[in-house]
Chain A
């Protein structure tokens, strides 16, 4: 039966989100909303010292308080072999301290009580005897002779050095530099910041003593991987562990690592036979969970006088905190930083990096960085901007001169990436046109004559996402292939189960749209399940913009697999051979006789009621996708600013962002992702940092010190797009979640530096507060 076909709202439609129905009613189900009968509340006592021996803990007064059920210390955890746990980087991390504390905020003990207020009261009654030790708060200090040894408990660790890593060809690069007319150098520090999703981390751990089943509601971007880690660490059988990541109030990479709180809460639930809830407060989130950046970068760009790039050298110092707990593919110690040649046809490059322990919280690879691509993008785009000034070239022209050309793709970079597709000139031209670049340069000249400081900053980023091919990509040995399961019900509706988990990106809608595109079932008829390890296929989770490239691909492929069987059933219903069946969504028609048709819904019903002999019933499938390559979203951002030289304040006058993420599944959602990323980039450029004093006290452990932009400061954005599909992705999509956070900080900083060109300012490290800008102006002018 043919039906009047309404348009199938698949790829390219701005379908309104299905998940919104519960969120706008205040009926989201976040971890702190979970309440179970008999549930207890856990609070963690944290170290006030950055580095100190633990002499003793006396919890007797806390234990005696009414309402306190238990106090857990490192000793108790050690009895169950749980005082230490593995990190996602193959190191170990203390769950509760046994020997010494290694960063301010480190977990010391945990109180379990029947009321969260009582739990906090009890924390104050725990007496801890610390013996402070020397503190190290920079990688330079960590590397110095005689620096205090932080990881003295590791047999193979005699200093604070963790890794040395290189990429590229050092000899070829040295030769390139020897031939250069000009070498432009930049030393810049990408300050420590924090992803700070609005919902903090936490869990409700419910270990049922009768069945041995452990159900853990957890703020996790990677529930399957965490479940496996729990199984290995806790010795709990993996099939008895169920991790449910319900609604997440943002993630941005902060919710990938395993935190001690999860482990302690689970152990407590196991020991007490009751559910235990642990929700950290904001201070705990900022002071102890996965931070971002804290990355010292030295870059050198070798050029000819006509602006041709010859080579790039970078050397990097990574501040890893007290435990090496980066969430990144194991083969790469500084993530995918070696994308640092960016959008340019670079003949030679060499990257070297060293990571150090310091007395700070663990982490470093987070906050929408695409595995340190934001650091790389920042470095190259700042170098290129400065190179333009030194050569007297326009910053747009020097970029265009060196861009990889459209016809050079697939492009093999000298650091081993194969860029799938790109049209860098196209994105750049569109951005320049939208912002009226030529007009702005004229305006800048006029304003400068009036003593006003106008600047235009560009950033042409190429980033790399979608980890990744099984040959090179794994995290603690687990390959980064994600799965999708699809079942079509008899009534023609469907359920799709995916291994990635949304934190606001709209997967419940966009992934349904992928299936809609393939099979002609409308998105509202497709339920998308995610986040529950009992009910979804295995995968490494959502971060580094990998959902669309990997899970999205798995979804398209499983839909095609199901589509193959659907076609067979359609042929059976139409009583023709398979070759004579055509699919014009949602109808299967007969070649040459278009009035003979059945819908996908007819086929679905038939899959259970009228299927050919020898065929299994049902219409479903699963697929694990091994990406053949990563994907390479790109774009050009252009920012116009005005700087007040008297105060150092800067205002964004216009911000144009042209993004190319290949095929856009839901344009409305893609734009929302870009808005969000441009705002984070602005916050990073303008106001965000976490610093430490020489005693290791964390300054930036609450929202009074760690600043998030409000709607008042945040610029207005003008978006544009080009579409250059990925040739190897089943639907040509590349992923976009992090592009704007990756690419925009350099654009903002370049704009301010551009404005200050006449005053001789060459570099200002982020955050560019009014004070920092003013100091830079004073310094460039000789401190007058």
Chain B
């Protein structure tokens, strides 16, 4: 077993390699919310098959890996109110901002994009504040 920070670093490097390959080969930015969002709101019709192929790979990659590393569950809450409000915020927020952790975070920061830097600062601060309020103060998380 690697220490957790080592797993994080190795996993992060793999994520960076995937994003690099997608850019160098397909000429596209690896942004999860953009790839899915363009498919479901039909704005990305022209390359729908490419988007769908990516998403199928994204679902299947971890299935292969769980055979070797064992299954680590997500630990996701079972509270439907938290699930639904959180998912709506993530869905609408990432589309309004035009990116999420992968698009703005990984691809944006690495290209020194001002929009990526601003987005990352604001979603990190907002996430930290949410944990302070709902976990540490209210205690529902």
**Are these two chains actual partners, yes or no?**
no
Chain B residues within 8 Å of A, Cβ to Cβ: none
